[in-house]
Amino acid sequence: MASAVSNLKGATGGNERFNKEAAAWDARPFVHEASEAAAKAILAKCDALGFTARQVLEIGCGTGILSFLIAPHVERVVAVDAAEGMIEVLKQKLQQPGAPANITPVAVLLEDPEDPTLPPADADKPDGPRQKFDLITSHLVLHHIFDLEAVLRTMLGCLPPGGRVMLTDFEDFGPEARRFHAASKKGGVERHGISAKQMTALMEEVGFKDVQVEPQWTMRKKVEKFDGEFGESGKMLDDDGEMMEFPFVLCYGEKP
């Protein structure tokens, strides 16, 4: 369990934050816009590759916004998050009329492809090997992960040969990228975005092939004019902050 804490360093701090924010998470238009853009980029990438994803694992699903958007296009989404509060909100959303019936929510800090909380590969052998997935997604999560290499190795272990990852997050495009988070939200942020060059090298080192880490879309976000402008709560008045544009990358790789 030592590595569990080191992967999502401050998994405790991070979890506390996400548990606290879970109930109000879906009230922020930005998280919906960002997931919609991620879903569009992921589905376009699948189309461009002629790749059909049937069984999908989303790591760090939060309240399941991206899972809801992907679910109509696939057989099943297993949606995992380390913050139980997030998974509770997702479970409530899944009870609502019209919710997709093919999302399986799991509260776990995923570090082991054979984690018993994942569904078994064979329903008749509940204690047997765990399911593998054609596609793994993870949106706005990588910048919170302390040990990216360990998480990429876990992902590789959750894929069969030919399985793909399509991971989306904002890009580290230089020192200004740190403005993505208000000062009060910087706890649990391990890096200010994803560096395309470093991520490409890391994914190749871990064993992915055909790695491509490329900017896919940009989003406007209101940011602090100075550190701490939005105060402890991160809430702002109309005149506070200023708009800034952030590039987002899609990190793609295939398991050989």
Ligand X SMILES: C[S@@+](CC[C@H](N)C(=O)[O-])C[C@H]1O[C@@H](n2cnc3c(N)ncnc32)[C@H](O)[C@@H]1O
- DSSP calls for 180-234: GS-GGG-TT--SSSB-HHHHHHHHHHHT-EEEEEEEEEEEEEEE-SSTTTTTTT-
Nearer to ligand X, 30 or 209 (CB): 30
Of the candidates 57, 104, 115, 110, the one whose C-alpha atom is nearest the C-alpha of residue 82 is: 110
Q: Minimum Å distance from CB 21 to ligand X?
A: 8
User: x/- site string to ligand X, residues 91 to 130, per CB under 6 A?
Assistant: ------------------xx--------------------
What region, left, alpha or beta, does residue 215 occupy, with left being phi > 0 and alpha being psi -120 to 50 degrees?
beta
- Does 167 participate in binding ligand X (rule CB under 6 A)? no
- Does 156 participate in binding ligand X (rule CB under 6 A)? no
Query: Token match 């040969």: residue?
Result: 161
Q: Minimum Å distance from CB 183 to ligand X?
A: 16
Which of 70, 82, 167, 182 touches ligand X (CB under 6 A)?
A: 82
- Does 61 participate in binding ligand X (rule CB under 6 A)? yes
Strand order in the sheet with 76-81: 103-107, 76-81, 55-59, 135-139, 164-170, 242-254, 209-223
Nearer to ligand X, 12 or 50 (CB): 12
Contact range with ligand X by CB under 6 A, out of 96-104, 135-143, 204-212, 247-255: 135-143
- Does 65 participate in binding ligand X (rule CB under 6 A)? yes
Answer for the pair 202, 148: CB distance below 8 angstroms, yes or no: yes
Query: Is 115 in a helix, a strand, or coil?
Result: coil
Q: Counting beta carbons within 10 angstroms of the beta carbon of residue 154, is it exposed (0 to 12), middle (13 to 18) or buried (19 or more)?
A: buried
User: x/- site string to ligand X, residues 216 to 245, per CB under 6 A?
Assistant: ------------------------------
Query: Applying CB under 6 A, which residues contact ligand X?
Result: 7-8, 14-15, 18, 31, 35, 59-62, 65-66, 80-83, 86, 109-110, 139-141, 144-145, 151
